[in-house]
A and B are shown apart, each in its own frame.
Chain A
Amino acid sequence: MKIALKFIGTMGVLFFTSQVASALEFIVHESVGQNHISSTELKNFYEGNATTWNNGTKVQPKLKDFSTDEGKTFLSEVIGKSSRQYQKSWMSKELSGEGTIPGQLNSDKEMLDFVKSNKGAIGFVKDGSSLPSGVKRMVVKFDGSAEENFKKMVKLTCGLPDSEIEQKATKGRTGNIFKYHICIEPELDLGSGCKIYCSK
């Protein structure tokens, strides 16, 4: 019986692990004035509802190929649509002249090169990628409470399963949620190789 339960438990962990999203972080060209962006604003940029940064520069969003782990995470965690739905909604906009779908790139190198050489560019790469000069990290602020923002950020940046995110979402004045919320340091190390970034 114990062995059976252990087996079921192990399978459960394996199943859970297989559901883990890939980690990614957003990057922008250095000309972009702001260091953080709301998840709504980010979604609007990638859905063509907003086309300029606060400083008037044209937004040039780029995507990772939808077959990559980052592409999949982007769609599920930021856009909330399947790749078919996302492409279909853009086709509708394109055929009425409202804009064109952001181009897709296959690798982090291509993404970094694009963002570095295009004013107003925004894209995403695997979490922990080293950023060349001319490219800076863009912190995403999710709508909702500090706890929700923390959990979504951990999911996006570290790709941890929900059970682990719950463990890291410690509360109180010494807890991770508060530390991240007030952003004393721009980088918060949550252990197990998971670092999240904040911006005041």
Chain B
Amino acid sequence: MRLLTAICTFAMFNVVASKAWAEEFKTNVYGYVNAYVEKVNDTPTLDSDNNTDYESNPHEFDVPNINMMVSSTYGAKYKMFLNLSAGGGGTMEVTNAWVEGSISGDVLRARFGKIYRRFGLYNEILDAVPTYIGIEPPELFDGDHLMLTRTTNAMLHGNVAIGENILKYALMTGNDEKESDQFPIGLDLRITLLDGQLLVGTSYYTTNGNALPDRSVGEGSPGGGILPWMVKDRYSVVGGFVQFESDSLILQLAGFQASHEAVRDPDQLATVISEAGINERQAERFAEPAEVDYDVTTSYLRAGYILDIADLEVTPYFQHDIYENEETIASKTYGGDNEAGLADDGKFSKTTLGVVVRPVPMVAIKLDASQHNQKFNGEDEPYAEVRASFSLFWRL
């Protein structure tokens, strides 16, 4: 009889506990798919006599993003997020995986795991392809020449309401690219004004000591701000951003600068100069001594105007990106970027005109065309590029 009572009590406890768990635990599964096609016009190159020649580029299809996200909350305090990506090569990667606990309501929360750092307007939302104007990310977070790592491991963050405005803040650290026991620090501060229409913010990052490249020469573009031919580097990145978003207008303006104090590895650099296909003018940039102080700067202006045409939301947009990095090269295999690295001096600008068509909010069809401007072999050598992208947000 006692055994029966104990079993019944245990069973009842389990029923109550699992019901309470189910009531408090909420999970959502969703994601998006993004496919695109791109055609770059003939780009300048050098022939055997060091004269400018042009090479054609094949058009390129890709499905860069097939993402599945799982977002869970347990009560008011705990949150979990998993972002799995299987784009391009087809292998599944854990893009984000973090847990979060509230220390003091929305005022202070702690997040740990693999986190997109809060930095500028785009880093956290680059996976929200269907929602923003433009196909390519701003140069700040172009995967071929990142100014810093996109992810980090710990973030204290929160927000407070100041009247009708909201102030958001974040303090971050992680493994990043640190050499040993350094403590890299990231900061972000942003405020929404004018009933949420205006966002103004600033972001800062420092390696806070020496940091190392995450890969060697020949292993592709780096996953952070340090080029593969550096022995070590200490750098900081600082910048500001403004966004105005009304019923019909989207306007974004941002500027960032990374300041590097780096030491080149002579052997790795020799490999780059001899094997990475850089020309004489570009090689002049690498004639300096091993210790180099250099800056990487970028800025962008993005503007879009939302029109309702029949049942479609149509948003024509304009973008202008500027990027300067005197230390980069063109070969992606050797750790460079084929846009900035193509230029004699590592400077280029890109002007883009495009349109986003949304038949429903979950679907975005984007078409755009860009003109790249840079100096190559001593001459202005612009070239054009057209792209189309189709992205769809889904939910289970």
Q: Measuring CB to CB, which residues of chain A are less than 8 angstroms from any residue of chain B?
A: 40-41, 43-44, 47, 49-52, 56-59, 80-85, 87-89, 91-92, 94-100, 118, 120, 143
Binds A, one of B124-132, B206-214, B225-233, B371-379: B124-132
Asked if B98 CB lies within 8 Å of chain A CBs, one says: yes
Binds A, one of B69-77, B170-178, B181-189: B69-77
Q: A44-B161, A91-B361, A92-B132 are in contact. Are A58 and B76 (CB under 8 A)?
A: yes
State the CA gap A85–B127 with chains docked (Å).
18
Q: A96-B116, A97-B81, A97-B96 are in contact. Are A85 and B164 (CB under 8 A)?
A: no
Are the C-beta atoms of B127 and A96 separated by less than 8 Å?
Answer: yes
Chain A residues contacting B127 (CB-CB under 8 Å) are 95-96
Chain B residues contacting A49 (CB-CB under 8 Å) are 106, 159, 161, 166
A-B contact pairs, 28 of them (CB 8 A): A40-B163, A49-B106, A49-B159, A49-B161, A52-B76, A52-B105, A52-B106, A58-B75, A58-B76, A59-B76, A80-B195, A85-B247, A87-B362, A89-B131, A91-B128, A91-B362, A92-B131, A95-B67, A95-B127, A96-B124, A97-B71, A97-B79, A97-B81, A97-B83, A97-B96, A98-B124, A100-B28, A143-B164
Are the C-beta atoms of A95 and B69 separated by less than 8 Å?
Answer: yes
Asked if B313 CB lies within 8 Å of chain A CBs, one says: yes
Q: Measuring CB to CB, which residues of chain B are less than 8 angstroms from any residue of chain A?
A: 23, 28, 30, 32, 67, 69, 71, 73, 75-76, 79, 81, 83, 96, 98, 102, 105-106, 116, 124-125, 127-128, 130-132, 159, 161, 163-164, 166, 195-196, 247, 313, 358, 361-362, 393
Are the C-beta atoms of A95 and B361 separated by less than 8 Å?
Answer: no
State the CA gap A52–B131 with chains docked (Å).
27
State the CA gap A85–B313 with chains docked (Å).
10
State the CA gap A98–B159 with chains docked (Å).
13
Are the C-beta atoms of B161 and A50 separated by less than 8 Å?
Answer: yes
Closest chain A residue to B159, Cβ basis:
A49
State the CA gap A7–B81 with chains docked (Å).
61
Beyond the given A40-B163, A59-B76, A97-B79, please list 17 additional residue pairs across the A-B interface where CB-CB is below 8 A. A41-B161, A43-B196, A49-B106, A50-B161, A52-B105, A52-B106, A56-B105, A58-B73, A83-B361, A84-B313, A88-B361, A92-B128, A95-B127, A96-B116, A96-B125, A97-B96, A143-B164
Shortest beta-carbon distance, A80 to chain B, in Å?
A: 7
Contact of A97 among B32, B69, B195 (CB under 8 A): B69
Closest chain B residue to A95, Cβ basis:
B128
Are the C-beta atoms of A95 and B96 separated by less than 8 Å?
Answer: no
Closest chain B residue to A79, Cβ basis:
B196
Q: A44-B161, A49-B159 are in contact. Are A84 and B166 (CB under 8 A)?
A: no
Chain A residues contacting B164 (CB-CB under 8 Å) are 40, 143
10 smallest A-B Cβ distances: which pairs? A58-B76, A97-B81, A95-B128, A87-B361, A92-B131, A96-B124, A92-B128, A100-B28, A52-B76, A52-B105
